[in-house]
Chain A
């Protein structure tokens, strides 16, 4: 076997491999640590954390799709204070690498307060700011749907943090490249994409939407082509690193995502159907690298351009 070098560097922090479980599909890590040593991961992005505790949306919150699923969890989390006092200590007992802190908010102030509180935690390596949430002061429109609002969140968060800030983009927009560019100009250290695509399923028996929230976010293998297209477009538009995700289920998908332009790759829904998915992908990377004659993953980033 060739000497498979899986190391990558994301915003100055070296990862043993590019695999990062995606926010919302890995809890705060410790559930998975019962199954395998999660220190094999490149990093992990924890559940979207907000200033206040949130229960989220009413159930049903999950609907199955062809090669994917809808979720309308609605950012259930115990709030940043409890995350710092209860969840992070449990995560740190089983994980010793830099953590990606996924943060959400419904106003600029919520984003900045949450990020400021997490900034002093030594093990947090990056912020991943999810801007798919509706802005309560902006008529409920998602922060991620306009370059101006996306830039405003980026600037505000950058002011209160000392760590690299990745902005996680929503794919539910017409021009993803312009939003990524606006974030870069506002000081973002990286771009993370894609979040889920808005979708719906209808229950044939009740003749009503399956989800209590009616709409939900579509993820899973079915969205991989959309994610690859968007990562490719953003790679052409910006000079900061990209964390690519959307439908990644195996080591081949990881290589594809990196060729499109991703420096690191997140695995989301796949963890829910196979709790060992992230570990299995990491273990399989050297085999797939050899098959496609890849010596170093860093060398293939953006290789498809």
Chain B
């Protein structure tokens, strides 16, 4: 974990209520895709946890959706403003288990961490397939960025306005995969759990006090004991989760 100041390089709307923010500064604490950072906002007491979408030597990219006051405030920040951020939080996805053809399933604002994961899996010579689920066409983001990595991208929308009509599980039909990685809302996880045929990893969410293991605010029970979503998670193996 590291605490540092970051300069906003970009903060643009990329879909309905969804923004992409580029944080310029020290990315050395980022070690695995699926980790998150915790952002201090003016006048807000607790920090806001947001997944790392991707990172490079110059900084970190995040994608967030306006949910309440904090994320709404974030959407108004201009480039060159500074933010105090804790980086390198959580375990991230374990890429060593992917096999040759991993399946990446993202729902809504669960999509971002899968991008950094996908890019690295492709670099390792793996052939991921990506399924992205949204409610409607105007919510869709990052489909082209994934395609630019040279992977097959399937899109499911609940209203059928783009791609397959239905849920991410409807887009899984006929797919042959070696492992899965997912991030998204709990109802999606429950549907995935009934559909998948391999082992895999889920990225969970909890309300957080600190984000770095100090307060026990985010604890869950797993098959291998009590775990903190912010420290031993947010990514948990399928076999470890008690639904």
Residue positions of A touching B, CB distance < 8 A: 24-27, 31-32, 34-35, 47, 55-56, 59-69, 71, 73, 76, 210, 220-221, 269, 271-276
Contacts and interface: CB of A to CB of B under 8 A. Distances in A.
A271 B206 CA distance: 19
Contacts of B79: none
Interface string B151-184: 0000000000000000000000000000000000
A269 B46 CA distance: 10
B46 A59 contact: no
Contacts of B210: 271-273, 275
Nearest to A55: B226
Contacts of A272: 46, 209-210, 214-215
B221 A55 contact: yes
Given A31-B213, A71-B209, A275-B1, A62 B218 contact: yes
24 contacts: A24-B215, A25-B215, A35-B3, A47-B216, A59-B217, A60-B207, A61-B219, A62-B218, A63-B207, A64-B44, A64-B46, A66-B45, A68-B45, A71-B217, A73-B217, A76-B219, A76-B226, A210-B207, A272-B210, A272-B214, A272-B215, A273-B47, A275-B212, A276-B3
Contact of B207 (A34, A35, A62, A271): A62
A67 B86 CA distance: 20
Contact of B214 (A26, A68, A76): A26
B189 to A, nearest CB: 15
A273 B45 CA distance: 7
B220 interface: yes
Contacts of B214: 25-27, 31-32, 271-272, 275
Contact of A220 (B1, B3, B45): B45
Given A68-B45, A275-B86, 15 more contacts: A24-B215, A25-B215, A27-B213, A31-B231, A32-B214, A47-B216, A56-B216, A61-B207, A61-B216, A61-B218, A71-B209, A272-B209, A272-B210, A273-B45, A273-B46
Interface of B: 1, 3, 40, 44-47, 86, 206-210, 212-221, 226, 231
B1 A35 contact: yes
Top 9 A-B pairs ranked by shortest CB distance? A272-B210, A62-B217, A60-B207, A76-B216, A62-B207, A62-B209, A64-B46, A73-B216, A31-B213
B215 A59 contact: no
A65 B44 CA distance: 8
Contacts of A276: 3
A34 B231 CA distance: 14
A23 to B, nearest CB: 11
A59 B210 CA distance: 15
A62 B45 contact: no
A269 B215 CA distance: 9
A71 B207 CA distance: 11
Nearest to B210: A272
Contacts of A67: 45
Contacts of A34: 1
